[in-house]
Amino acid sequence: MSGKHALVTGGAGFIGSHLVDRLLGEGWRVTVVDNFDPFYARSVKEGNIRSHREHPNYHLIECDLRDRDGLVAAFESPFDCIVHLAARAGVRPSIADPVGYQSVNVTGTQNLLELAKDWGCKQFVFASSSSVYGINPDVPWREEGAVLQPISPYASTKVSGELMGHVYSHLYRIRFVALRFFTVIGPRQRPDLALHKFAKMMLAGQKLPKFGDGETSRDYTFVADIVSGVCAAMEYDASLYEVINLGNHQTITLNEMIGALELSLNRTAELESLPEQPGDVPRTWADISKAQRLLNYQPTTPFRAGVEHFVRWFLANR
């Protein structure tokens, strides 16, 4: 693997910075594109990449993926693989700004696929999302059996990315692997995500918003397990187009998540009951048999251990 060159979009973010850690450690040259979107504080991302900036195999380009001319001008050498993690994230914010999400997530992905075609890059790994399944009662969710009915603009942009990837794979023989991430937890988690937000509120003595009865559930997956799946997808070569779930194959309710935080923080949460939110799905649950078969993917970090890892990082970086 040593000596290969990867382009990682969103490489200053939560998952991206962990992936860059792994790639640099394995001898890759890594070029990161990130526009430091103000969705959350720039200082958070700067903290994520502090150690990367000193690495001789690391190069950071600050650019918006919608600026195709800027991207072309910024790059000097070809890539063995593109890992496209950058996106406007979040279900609820996408309902407030559907046009903005479409512009960044769909146009940005198209620009990268065009560049992959022009550069002759034949390996493209795309960060999709479990949200593409919408409200699907047939759980655990399987890639082959699902009729996708997304219920948020964010989810629809991820479906669009998967379909666009199929077009470029078919026309230009670019290997496109779409990875449907289920809820990712761990150190550096984005501050807008529930685990991080709730931890901050609990330490501040604020009430936690509990939407519905607390029995909505998520398939929480530890970031190191996700990164292992991404790295395997970067090396995958058995077919030209695949869509693969990366989850933990278990569900944790909102009530259980709050309970785990209470134990790790040694605090009792005060709760504010609120109605369920539009765009939220009641349950996510990954069938990971395809990832196991094609990528030798096997998550090893249980939910409680993942929460402990997150809390240790959170307390040290408040």
> Residue 102 maps to which CATH number?
3.40.50.720
Q: How many domains does the chain have?
A: 1
Q: Which helix (H) or strand (E) holds 6?
A: strand 5-9
pLDDT of residue 281: 82
Long-range pairs, 197-205, Cβ under 8 A, ≥24:
198/257, 198/258, 198/261, 198/269, 199/261, 199/265, 199/310, 199/311, 199/314, 200/314, 202/261, 202/262, 202/265, 202/267, 202/269, 203/265, 203/267, 203/318, 205/270
204 in a structural domain: no
In whole angstroms, what separates CA 140 from the centre of its chain? 20
For residue 140, is the peptide bond before it cis, meaning its omega torsion is within 30 degrees of 0? yes
pLDDT of residue 76: 74
261 in a structural domain: no
pLDDT of residue 1: 43
Q: Which two tokens stand for residue 274?
A: 């609120």
pLDDT of residue 146: 66
167 in a structural domain: yes
pLDDT of residue 18: 98
CB 123 within 8 A of CB 80: yes
Residues spanned by the domain of 175? 5-183+221-248+286-299
56 in a structural domain: yes
165 in a structural domain: yes
157 in a structural domain: yes
- Give the CB-side neighbour count of residue 142, counting CA atoms within 13 A: 5
226 in a structural domain: yes
Which residues are the active-site residues?
A: 154
List average pLDDT for each run of 10 residues in the chain, which is 318 residues long.
86 98 97 94 96 97 94 87 96 94 97 95 97 91 84 96 98 98 97 95 95 92 98 98 96 96 96 85 94 98 97 95
311 in a structural domain: no
